[in-house]
Amino acid sequence: MINQKDLLPKDMGRSDEQLIKLEVDQLMPLLAPYDKPGMEPAMTDPKPAWKEKFCTSLDGYVGIDTLIRPKSKEEEDEFVRKFLSGLEKIFSDANNGVLEPLLLTFEYCAKCNTCSDACHIYTATGNNELYRPIYRSEVLRKIMKKYFTKSGKLLGNFVGADIDVNWETIARLGELAYRCNLCRRCAQTCPLGLDNSLLTKEIRKIFSQEMGIAPTPLHTKGSMLQIKTGSSTGLSKPAFLDTLEFLEEDTEERFGIKFKFPVDKKGADILVLHNAGEFIAWPENPVAFALLFEEAGLNWTLSSEIMGYDSVNYGLWYDDFQAKKIALMQMKVAKDFGVNRLVVAECGHAHKASMVVGDRMAYGDAKIPVESCLPLLWDMVKNKRLKLDPSKNNFPVTLHDPCNVVRQLGIVEPQRNVLKAICPQFREMTPHGVDNYCCGGGSGFAIMNSQNFPQFRDSVASRVKFNQILGAFKDTIEDPSIPKYVCAPCSNCKGAMRSIFEHYDATEKFNLQYGGLVELMVNALVSMKKPYLEFLDKE
Amino acid sequence: MLLSFIAYLSIFLFVGISVYKAYKFAKMPLHGRMELYPVPKEKGFEHGGSFYEEVSWWSKPHEVSHFREIMEMMKEILFIKKLFENQRPFWWISYALHLGIYLLMAWTMLLVVGATTELNGIFVAANSPSIWGLLIYYLTFVTGICGLVLGTLGAGLLFLRRMFDSTLKKYTTPQEYFNLLLLFAALFSGIITWGSDLSFSTARDVTANLITFTNFDATGLQIINIILVGIMLTYIPISKMSHYVGKYFTFHTVLWDNSPNVKGSAVEQKVKKATSYKPTTSWSAPHIKGPSAPK
């Protein structure tokens, strides 16, 4: 192992068993009440069997469970060859959709290091060199220069082409690409407007699109499953319809409200697209949408068509081919349906996928307008289409801004306007809005649960967010009788919240709760006879 | 004559290569949208908002302020705003170099104007009877001294900082040290060459000879300075120091693009063209079948 302070980009090729090891006492300190010893689980070592099978030689964590150690020299050589082939391709016309931003970022980094302080992972690790945003980028540049530039071939070390390329180098680089949430906060501070997360994603793309290697939850059980069954949850059409029926009955039983989800309704104005994970993990969210839309009198529907009831698009995080395939399939379903507009519910990456990334994948009649649920929800509150009683939400509430929604789409005000209107004790995190920090679950982390990866996510990637939450509730955090609600209008972010609250036992100890925006809105509805939020009902 | 040729050629190469690079970026294939808010031209710039904050955004006019975009771009170009906001200690030396270069560009132009003025019989000096002559003299005096001092100081301090900062030195290649040394050498040689006559009348005389292709007895220092500046001007656009070209594209066409593909828009035409392109290279992973992206 190497002292992280001495770590150089070229060390990625070293034969060490593990480059660095993270320890809790080296991480960024947590705020009270988690500043006391013993409040946080220790960091663990990878199991010996994992070392044999996976790449644990970076920092001991396994993010890519399909990245298997080679059994022979031939396999190792083939692995390196394929990576280099993919590296060459990202600069070819196979990658036209990214070529210009990629070349700009690749070419012009002045290495001023401004990006480091903006990175929540680098900060969380106590400024560990391995997680500095430009560390990963520099490794990629060095390999590229060594193999594919004239200057690198002629001048070698002089231009930085000084790295040994072997299985360990490439595999570590692949793992390191999954130590970044792709939140793009670093790009926001770059004086040259360059984007380290773009290079990170290109590494993930090379692994997936050329080498066929990607984390199982993202690929095999993610985008591939969605293309096959219509949903990354594996939820088939009959199962989806059964789920809706169950939720209708359950809502009637719990709240005495009789309603039906409009499904495949002809002549509907709006098609609502949920992250299908909501129906399984947080069904109160799609139910809340239905209750609000019905009360506001919107002409809306859900779709039961394959690809029509799951908004997710994991391709965004690791594979452009998958992203495009899914986006186009979703677009076709919406178009065939004949609605006027598609409204994306509370899922951050689905917002980005359908509104920004998918925006230039088709044109003309193949597209229908897509909008976020957040302005629509604010419109319903602003125009008093809902009868709301803010006193029902009289407990501390803070807002987590999903990166995809704020920094990458510029939807900042509607959600906080709603909260200001319905939550008397609403308070902002610091920083917030477009300057927010990622929840730590971004770019697939929230669903990557293989081997010891959750520990990296919960202790490191979500650390800055957890501190922001503790800071927002510092006046009441130690009083478990007061519920404290983190509003996270994004499925992925909710997944991250669930994990960190479990990791720190924060709900049990300090009554920290999380959920979406619509749940708070329904809870404030005058027509609700009992609290919609379960934690209020218990009291 | 040879020095005139070097001066003209290096300026021609500097401008020509820079423009060629800009042309290459401008002609690159349409890329996917990668905006990062706040986007200056957007109405909601103050809070980082966009047109997506409106219900049925596609049916409303997309209000943009190109003036605000230009203003924000000027803040970046003239003051390196992001570095100032996010890394103040580094900004001081980086800005010294950049401001020094801007002032030296102005100084060079003022020397040309001054030389032309004198060729037209107007005296450029502190005791010139002409207001124009006085104006050019003092502007040349201020920009020359400030430019040479700030530029040299900036290049030198950036070099030293990279050498001795434990983080930066890990990421600095020998070529990047060379880049800064070349700048320092060209600028420092400027101080030695022209600093002995702070009225810059010698510099004006040399400039007059250079622009009129007149033979003159150049001193050794003058030859060294002109050659070094010539090399620097030619090298900058082929190195990553040409970030002045890239920066326009990273902001204007990538981070601040914000042009949705709505029916009848100019972007729609570009998307139409881009989607009809058949790539010559294809990916090899098993889940990607066929030679091109999915239809």
pLDDT tens profile B228-240: 999 999 999 999 9
Residue A194: list chain B partners with CB under 8 A: 250
pLDDT confidence of B109, banded at 50, 70, 90? very high
B58, B254, B271: residue with CB nearest A104? B254
Q: Which two tokens stand for residue A392?
A: 């029902």
* pLDDT computed for residue A517 by the predictor: 98
The torsion region of residue A188 among left (phi > 0), alpha (psi -120 to 50) and beta comes to alpha
Query: Is B292 inside a domain boundary?
Result: no
Interface residue B149 vs chain A (CB under 8 A): no
B35, B87, B285: residue with CB nearest A210? B285
C-alpha A127/C-alpha A120 separation (Å) is 10
Query: Is B9 inside a domain boundary?
Result: yes
Kindly list the distances between the CA atom of residue B128 and the CA atoms of A4, B142, B143, B203, in Å, as whole numbers in the listed order.
64, 17, 19, 17
Query: Is A72 inside a domain boundary?
Result: yes
Q: Using one digit for the tens of pLDDT, what is the confidence trace for B117-148?
A: 999 999 999 999 999 999 999 999 999 999 99
Distance (Å) from the alpha carbon of B272 to chain A's nearest alpha carbon? 7
Verify that A396 and A302 share a domain, yes or no: yes
Interface residue B287 vs chain A (CB under 8 A): yes
Residue A97: list chain B partners with CB under 8 A: 29-32, 274
Distance (Å) from the alpha carbon of B179 to chain A's nearest alpha carbon? 11
* pLDDT computed for residue A2 by the predictor: 85
Mean pLDDT of all residues belonging to chain B: 94
Q: Would the CB atoms of A360 and B35 count as touching at under 8 Å?
A: no
Which residue bears the tokens 């990456």?
A349
B32, B42, B285: residue with CB nearest A357? B32
Query: Is A248 inside a domain boundary?
Result: yes
Verify that A373 and A414 share a domain, yes or no: yes
**H-helix segments, A297-437:** 315-318, 320-337, 348-352, 373-382, 403-406, 413-422
* pLDDT computed for residue B293 by the predictor: 42
Interface residue B60 vs chain A (CB under 8 A): no
C-alpha B282/C-alpha A189 separation (Å) is 34
Verify that A393 and A475 share a domain, yes or no: yes
Q: Smallest Cα–Cα separation from A405: which of B37, B44, B56, B257?
A: B37
Verify that A376 and A230 share a domain, yes or no: yes
Query: Is B153 inside a domain boundary?
Result: yes
C-alpha B163/C-alpha B156 separation (Å) is 11
Residue B74: partners with Cβ closer than 8 Å, 6 or more residues away: none
Q: Would the CB atoms of B274 and A360 count as touching at under 8 Å?
A: yes
Verify that A190 and A226 share a domain, yes or no: no
Q: Domain span at residue A298?
A: 222-537
SS percent in chain A: helix, strand, coil, step 5: 55, 5, 40
Give the nearest chain B residue to A213 (CA atoms). B285
Verify that A269 and A407 share a domain, yes or no: yes
Residue B255: list chain A partners with CB under 8 A: 187, 193
The last residue of a domain, from among A145, A176, A210: A210
By the 8 A CB rule, do A315 and A224 touch? no
- Name the helix (H) or strand (E) containing B160: helix B131-164
Domain count, chain A: 2
- Name the helix (H) or strand (E) containing A232: none
Q: Which of A112, A114, A132, A368 to mutate to test the interface with B (most CBs of B within 10 A)?
A: A112
Q: Running DSSP on this structure, what letter comes out for residue A391?
A: G
Verify that A195 and A117 share a domain, yes or no: yes
C-alpha A313/C-alpha A315 separation (Å) is 5
C-alpha A292/C-alpha A280 separation (Å) is 20
Q: Smallest Cα–Cα separation from B95: which of B104, B83, B110?
A: B83
Query: Is B168 inside a domain boundary?
Result: yes
Query: Is A216 inside a domain boundary?
Result: no
Distance (Å) from the alpha carbon of A38 to chain B's nearest alpha carbon? 33
Count other Cβ atoms within 10 Å, centred on residue A389: 14
Verify that A406 and A459 share a domain, yes or no: yes
By the 8 A CB rule, do A337 and A303 touch? yes
CA B23 to chain centre: 15
Q: Does position B244 have pLDDT exceeding 90, yes or no? A: yes
Buried b (16+ CB within 10 A) or exposed e, B224-253: bbbbbbbebbbbbbebbbbbbbbbbbbbeb
Distance (Å) from the alpha carbon of B213 to chain A's nearest alpha carbon? 36
Residue A92: list chain B partners with CB under 8 A: 279-281
Verify that A180 and A227 share a domain, yes or no: no
Query: Is B281 inside a domain boundary?
Result: no
Q: Would the CB atoms of B29 and A101 count as touching at under 8 Å?
A: no
Query: Is A183 inside a domain boundary?
Result: yes
* pLDDT computed for residue B274 by the predictor: 93
Q: How many CA atoms lie within 13 A of A75 on its CB side?
A: 8
Which residue bears the tokens 């490794």?
A139
Q: What is the mean pLDDT of each run of 10 residues along chain A (539 residues)?
A: 91 90 96 93 94 96 97 96 97 96 96 95 98 98 96 94 94 98 97 97 98 98 95 93 97 95 95 96 98 97 94 97 96 92 97 96 93 98 98 98 98 98 98 98 96 97 98 97 98 97 97 98 96 85
Q: Would the CB atoms of B247 and A5 count as touching at under 8 Å?
A: no
Task: State whether residue A85 is helix, strand or coil.
Answer: helix
Query: Is B193 inside a domain boundary?
Result: yes
The last residue of a domain, from among A187, A210, A233: A210
Q: Would the CB atoms of B87 and A113 count as touching at under 8 Å?
A: yes
Interface residue B44 vs chain A (CB under 8 A): yes
Amino acid identity of A183?
C
The last residue of a domain, from among A184, A210, A236: A210
SS percent in chain B: helix, strand, coil, step 5: 70, 0, 30
Kindly list the distances between the CA atom of residue A192 and the CA atoms of A283, B83, B176, in Å, as whole numbers in the listed order.
44, 9, 17
Backbone angles phi and psi of A342, in degrees to 5: -110, 130
Q: Smallest Cα–Cα separation from A318: which of A120, A63, A62?
A: A63
Residue A184: list chain B partners with CB under 8 A: 36
C-alpha A491/C-alpha A500 separation (Å) is 14
Interface residue B55 vs chain A (CB under 8 A): yes
Q: How are beta strands A484-487 and A426-427 bridged, if at all?
A: unpaired
Q: Would the CB atoms of B283 and A118 count as touching at under 8 Å?
A: no
* Strand arrangement, sheet containing A270-273: A300-301, A270-273, A341-344, A370-372
Give the nearest chain B residue to A214 (CA atoms). B285
Q: Would the CB atoms of B82 and A191 count as touching at under 8 Å?
A: yes
Backbone angles phi and psi of A263, in degrees to 5: -120, 130
Which residue bears the tokens 């000096």?
B125
Distance (Å) from the alpha carbon of B190 to chain A's nearest alpha carbon? 25
Residue A108: list chain B partners with CB under 8 A: 240, 243, 246-247, 250
Residue A428: list chain B partners with CB under 8 A: none
Q: Does position B291 have pLDDT exceeding 60, yes or no? A: no
Q: Does position B294 have pLDDT exceeding 90, yes or no? A: no
Residue A151: list chain B partners with CB under 8 A: 175
Q: Which two tokens stand for residue A24?
A: 């809790």
Per the DSSP assignment, residues forming a β-bridge with A500 are none
Residue B28: list chain A partners with CB under 8 A: 99-100, 103
Amino acid identity of A213?
I
Q: Would the CB atoms of A108 and B175 count as touching at under 8 Å?
A: no
* pLDDT computed for residue A281 by the predictor: 96
A82, A94, A211: residue with CB nearest B282? A94
Buried b (16+ CB within 10 A) or exposed e, A247-261: bbeebeeebebeeeb
Interface residue B22 vs chain A (CB under 8 A): no
Verify that A277 and A148 share a domain, yes or no: no
Q: Would the CB atoms of B48 and A8 count as touching at under 8 Å?
A: no
Verify that A129 and A226 share a domain, yes or no: no
Amino acid identity of A9?
P
Q: Would the CB atoms of B175 and A129 count as touching at under 8 Å?
A: no
The torsion region of residue A440 among left (phi > 0), alpha (psi -120 to 50) and beta comes to left
By the 8 A CB rule, do A496 and A445 touch? yes
**H-helix segments, A206-319:** 224-229, 237-255, 277-281, 284-296, 315-318
C-alpha A226/C-alpha A93 separation (Å) is 27
For the four alpha carbons of A46, A48, A54 and A55, in that order, the dihedral sign comes to positive
Residue B178: list chain A partners with CB under 8 A: 158
Q: Which two tokens stand for residue A98?
A: 């990214």
Distance (Å) from the alpha carbon of A370 to chain B's nearest alpha carbon? 8
C-alpha B84/C-alpha B73 separation (Å) is 14
Q: Would the CB atoms of B171 and A360 count as touching at under 8 Å?
A: no
By the 8 A CB rule, do A321 and A348 touch? no
Amino acid identity of A371?
E
Query: Is B287 inside a domain boundary?
Result: no
Q: Does position B177 have pLDDT exceeding 50, yes or no? A: yes
C-alpha A146/C-alpha A155 separation (Å) is 9
Query: Is A420 inside a domain boundary?
Result: yes
Query: Is B189 inside a domain boundary?
Result: yes
Q: How many CA atoms lie within 13 A of A261 on its CB side?
A: 29
Question: What's the average model confidence in pLDDT over B14-30?
Answer: 97
Which 81-100 residues of chain B touch chain A by CB within 8 A?
Answer: 82-83, 85-87, 90, 94
Which residue bears the tokens 């001023």?
A112
Verify that A206 and A226 share a domain, yes or no: no
Query: Is A217 inside a domain boundary?
Result: no
Q: Which two tokens stand for residue B237?
A: 């656009």
Query: Is A383 inside a domain boundary?
Result: yes
A92, A108, A374: residue with CB nearest B281? A92
C-alpha B240/C-alpha A165 separation (Å) is 25
CA A332 to chain centre: 25
Q: Would the CB atoms of A208 and B285 count as touching at under 8 Å?
A: yes
Interface size A-B, in CB pairs within 8 Å, comes to: 254
Distance (Å) from the alpha carbon of A87 to chain B's nearest alpha carbon? 11
C-alpha B273/C-alpha B259 separation (Å) is 16
A96, A194, A363: residue with CB nearest B272? A363
Domain count, chain B: 1
- Name the helix (H) or strand (E) containing B267: helix B266-275
Distance (Å) from the alpha carbon of A362 to chain B's nearest alpha carbon? 7
B28, B33, B85: residue with CB nearest A359? B33
Distance (Å) from the alpha carbon of A188 to chain B's nearest alpha carbon? 7
Query: Is A457 inside a domain boundary?
Result: yes
* pLDDT computed for residue A538 by the predictor: 63
Kindly list the distances between the CA atom of residue A133 and the CA atoms of A117, A209, A400, A426, in Å, as whole numbers in the listed order.
9, 23, 23, 33
Q: Using one digit for the tens of pLDDT, what is the confidence trace for B157-173?
A: 999 999 999 999 999 99
Per the DSSP assignment, residues forming a β-bridge with A532 are none
By the 8 A CB rule, do A504 and A40 touch? yes
Residue B95: list chain A partners with CB under 8 A: none
Q: Does position B295 have pLDDT exceeding 50, yes or no? A: no
Q: Domain span at residue B179?
A: 2-275
By the 8 A CB rule, do A282 and A490 touch? no
Residue B42: list chain A partners with CB under 8 A: 410
C-alpha A492/C-alpha A225 separation (Å) is 18
